[in-house]
Structure 1
Amino acid sequence: MDLKYKNVASVYDLVYEARTEDVEFYVAQAAKAAPRRLAEFGCGTGRVTLKLAERLPDTHIVAVDMDADEIEVLDDSLRAEGIDTVETRCELIQSFRADDVDVAIAPFRVFQHVLTLAELEACLKQVARSMRPGGLFFFDLFNPSIPLMAKTGLTASQVFNDDEGHRIERVVNVNDRDYFRQTQLIEEDYKVTTPEGETYDLHWHYHTRYYFLGEVLPLIQRAGFEVIRVDSDYKGTPHGEGDYPGDLVFHLARA
């Protein structure tokens, strides 16, 4: 059987190819700072990384992710495009070691995968330790939606078709909510149909945590960052304005 999509990481770029607003934001912020060295935490398959490398050819980019399958996809893309300015690392944020990063980013709600306040504080402190004083750090989180917190079960049902005739049906369910710990189980299930009509399934089930602004700000400050501003979207709308629930988009500076 044709197994072009052997795991969820290999279908990720197809699923998220229409999501570009956050990519443009991170690339624009990095380009404005013109860093010598940039660290991207939670790089995944390189949705942001590849655009950064294209826009910043003189910047050394360290792309970090804990998922070996996603790093493999990114490595393949880097080789295919002949990019040699990106260093990939498969590791946890807490184990990242550097002290000369000028700009750091953690796109697409990476910290939602961090399930406790203590763990989040440890991540933020490690990012701070890796940076030069005055360095800039940008990341985003969900702004928790009160209506969505009351809903369980199906949250998305989508169909994607690639240029080779594969059909990918994606179903996302949210279950196992823990309102004390602010966690939930995300169940992403995919049915892949090959051009020949054969089918197979892929699954990615994981827990995430939602964070409120008031509990994140003290952790940011204790980690050694100053808050420049917090926006509710990638266009610069201040938090508390714009469409609800929006996002929490953080602009920080290393103290």
Structure 2
Amino acid sequence: MDLKYKNVASVYDLVYEARTEDVEFYLQQVAKANPSHLAEFGCGTGRVTLELAQRLPHTQITAVDMDADEVQVLDDALRARGISSVRTRCELIQHFEGHDVDMAIAPFRVFQHVLDLGELENCLRQVSSSMRPGGRFVFDLFNPSIPLLSKTGVIASQVFKDDDGYRVERRVTVNDRDYFRQTQLIEEDYTVTTPDGQSYDLHWHYQTRWYFLGEVIPLLQRSGFDIDRIDSDYKGTPYGEGDYPGDLVFHLVSK
């Protein structure tokens, strides 16, 4: 059977197609900086990348992600749309090498997949070393919700339908929190039903770490960045003035 959704990476765009606020935010930030070479870390399937490439065709984009399945989805989309301004690289951020990046972004809480402070600092140093002095680096993290950190179990149960008649049931469960290491196991389980009524399951289990603002700021300063500002949302609300818990949106300048 020729399945439309062969793995979790192929379902990603259906699940997150309604998430557009951060896409518009990053488009505005990149358009304002007008870089000749942009690096996007944690590009995934290209939710942000493709919009950037289509609206800013003269910007060369290097799109980096460690998940080969997601990079393949992006590569297929780039070919289908005839986009040649994007180069993809399947690798860890810690291994990225470059020296001519004018601007870097890391959308949708990419660094929360880095599980300890030492590795996060390594990532930030690698990003900094790839950038020209005065380059802009913008990324976001989820501001930890203290009430939610006390809860485990099912945190989301959703149903998605696409134009081809597929039905996707998604269930997200949080288990095995380690409050010393600030990590948690997230289990995403999908049941896909084809247009002719056949069903099959997909699974994606992974760990994330939550970061508090006070532990991130020293890493940024040691890694070669000046902090321009920190917002609590994508509208430019200064940290501490937005709705709780909101996000941590960092605007940095490379030294």
Q: Summarize the alignment of residues 1-255 of structure 1 with structure 2, pairs less than 5 Å apart.
A: 1-255=1-255
d(CA) in 2 for partners of 1:46, 1:104: 15
d(CA) in 1 for partners of 2:109, 2:134: 23
CA deviation map 1:184-234 (0-9, x unaligned): 000000000001100000000000000000000000000000000000000
- In structure 2, give the amino acid aligned to 1:204: W
CA deviation map 1:114-160 (0-9, x unaligned): 00000000000000000000000000001000000000000000000
> What runs of 5+ residues in structure 1 fail to find an aligned partner?
none
Give how far 1:55 is off.
1.6
d(CA) in 2 for partners of 1:248, 1:145: 12
d(CA) in 2 for partners of 1:98, 1:243: 37
d(CA) in 2 for partners of 1:94, 1:60: 21
Give how far 1:28 is off.
0.5
Deviation beyond 6 Å, 4+ runs, structure 1 = none
- In structure 2, give the amino acid aligned to 1:13: D
- In structure 1, give the amino acid aligned to 2:15: V
- In structure 2, give the amino acid aligned to 1:135: G
d(CA) in 1 for partners of 2:241, 2:205: 33
- In structure 2, give the amino acid aligned to 1:52: L
Q: Retained in 2: the 8 A contact 1:112–1:141?
A: yes
d(CA) in 1 for partners of 2:33, 2:149: 37
Q: Retained in 2: the 8 A contact 1:112–1:208?
A: yes
- In structure 2, give the amino acid aligned to 1:250: F
Q: Give the number of aligned pairs.
A: 255
Structure 1 residue matching 2:196: 3-state secondary structure = coil
Q: Retained in 2: the 8 A contact 1:2–1:194?
A: no
Structure 1 residue matching 2:99: 3-state secondary structure = coil
Structure 1 residue matching 2:147: 3-state secondary structure = helix
Amino-acid identity (%): 77
Give how far 1:242 is off.
1.4
d(CA) in 1 for partners of 2:77, 2:33: 25
d(CA) in 1 for partners of 2:102, 2:2: 44
d(CA) in 1 for partners of 2:160, 2:64: 28
Structure 1 residue matching 2:54: 3-state secondary structure = helix
d(CA) in 1 for partners of 2:55, 2:253: 22
d(CA) in 2 for partners of 1:254, 1:243: 29
d(CA) in 2 for partners of 1:193, 1:82: 31
Structure 2 residue matching 1:146: 3-state secondary structure = coil
- TM-score normalized by structure 2? 0.99
Give how far 1:58 is off.
0.7
CA deviation map 1:8-53 (0-9, x unaligned): 0000000000000000011100000110000000000000000110
Moved more, 2-11 or 126-135: 2-11
Structure 1 residue matching 2:126: 3-state secondary structure = helix
Structure 1 residue matching 2:241: 3-state secondary structure = coil
RMSD: 0.5
Structure 2 residue matching 1:58: 3-state secondary structure = coil
d(CA) in 2 for partners of 1:220, 1:24: 25
d(CA) in 2 for partners of 1:123, 1:192: 36
